[in-house]
Structure 1
Amino acid sequence: MELLVASAIGVLTAAGIYMILRLRSFPVVVGMSLLSYAVNVFLFATGRLVINQPPILRDGVTSYTDPIPQALVLTAIVISFGMTAVVVMLALGAFIEASNDRIDLDGEEDGQ
């Protein structure tokens, strides 16, 4: 189970970094979303990956699931959704203004 979750985190991180390094604005937004998903899965995995265990420690219970990372992930999902909406609106505004979603790092016009 841990190997599967660790592999998923690695794949999400690698795909997110690859997408962020693209020269178009939409893949950058998708890459940021993938990175936030990777961080969320990592935070969720820190709360112990156990099945059918209570979230609090009681008498006779030897293992439990930590509820704090679950609360952090829920908060991070809401924040990342809001930030993704803001970045999409900025990218859409740039696309409408320039009629192109290419990220120009040099500040030069096309072909010059």
Structure 2
Amino acid sequence: MPWLLLVLAGLLEIGWAIGLKYTEGFTRPLPTVATVAAMVASVLLLGIAMRSLPVGTAYAVWVGIGAAGTVLLGIALFGEPATAARLACVGLILAGVVGLKLVTPA
């Protein structure tokens, strides 16, 4: 269960990171409320997952999911460059996330 909560927290991190773009500097009310709600929910789920998981592992996985997902959605939604080097780096981040899952008990 803690891993599921951690993955959900990471997905919400992607949501709020992308949501920041849509807030236009927190000047648009609806995207701002949704982004702040995703921020709060993401951190709450991370905190709950940390009850059972090591802090370093949980934080690294949370950030890794958020970073990789945000890069991929930036490519898909905003036309950011999808160079081989960027995609390889995203692959390395995801390999680190999977590696931490494989070597962490719980």
More helix as a share of residues? 2
TM-score, normalised by the number of residues in structure 1: 0.38
Rg larger in 1 or in 2?
A: 1
TM-score, normalised by the number of residues in structure 2: 0.40
